[in-house]
Structure 1
């Protein structure tokens, strides 16, 4: 019998595993855009820990191994900024990203302060799998921002 994946709040003790997984997961994005200086690949452990303290993070575990994660932070206007949804390459396309996205939204819908009015996230314009997932969950494109000659960020949003 196989193990099941469990989702729980990320703790400071998870930060190192999250950072290693983040580095692994963003290799494909760096290759897609020809840029290995993207922020998820240069983020420090201290920066990641600070993100977890400011907002809320979730991890998905298979046994003791962190195999997926997502982080979010709400601003004063009620916009929940969701970031760095990552799933280990060997577990992609099994619904884990969607489960994490639903779980982080539910956290903010269940009384976190400030109250969520909308959820917002972004991804690269060539990241078709990401765009497909977000659109399937009700996110709509609200803007784009060119950040380099090869990368345009697509911002998507949905009402809470």
Structure 2
């Protein structure tokens, strides 16, 4: 049946180059949605990404030796986990990998960092992202225009730890 996708417990600087390349590929569709090819995920350097990996928690999904997905997060002193840059290789989308990565990072942050709440954001036109997050129990808490890009409204979503793991799609 072939090789299975494995989610690794930790991503580190050894994964940084593959993550950066995958991030660049994955954010092309977001850039096209908002006509913004200068967004941070497309301009982030390898050094910046490596530093970001050192400041928080990151997971990778591997198909053999290839990184085909990733997600990053930090937890603040109040127990709010900020989840960011959930990416899945375009050829691996629509098979549940994004949901698996999201569930894995939530479980890890709850167990290891006592996260009590999860927060993430996406753009208002990113319907696939919004569908995934809402199906996992996230609810919109704010909508704000993006300063640098007037075509983008940033939607922030949150959920309490342990809430809505398998909520119905909204």
SS at match of 1:123: strand
What is the match of residue 136 of structure 2? 137
**Alignment correspondent of 1:149:** 150
Aligned positions, number: 158
Displacement after TM superposition at 1:111 (Å): 2.8
Q: What's the offset of the Cα at 1:144?
A: 1.3
Q: Where does the alignment leave 5 or more consecutive residues of structure 1 unmatched?
A: none
Residue in 2 that maps onto 1:61: 62
Q: Cα RMSD between the aligned structures?
A: 0.7
The 3-state SS of whatever aligns with 2:144 is strand
- The CA distance in 1 between the partners of 2:102 and 2:156, in whole Å, is 16
Moved over 2 A (4+): none
Q: Deviations over 1:125-151 (max 9, x none)?
A: 000000000000000000012112100
Partners of 1:144 and 1:22 in 2: how far apart? 24
Deviation larger for 21-30 or 45-54: 45-54
Q: Which residue of 1 aligns with 2:7?
A: 7
Q: In the alignment, what sits opposite 2:166?
A: none
**Stretch moving more, 124-133 or 43-52:** 43-52
Residues 73 and 81 in structure 2, CA contact (< 8 A), matched pair in contact too: yes
C-alpha displacement of 1:88: 0.2
Counterpart position of 1:70: 71
Distance 1:109 1:75 in 2: 12
What pairs up with 1:1-160 in 2 under 5 angstroms? 1-8=1-8, 9-112=10-113, 115-147=114-146, 148-160=149-161
Name the SS of the counterpart of 2:77 in structure 1. Answer: coil
**Structure 2: gaps spanning 5 or more residues:** 162-170
Cα distance in structure 2, aligned partners of 1:80 and 1:74: 4
SS in 1 for 2:7: strand
TM-score by length of 2: 0.91
- Stretch of structure 1 that moved more, 80-89 or 145-154: 145-154
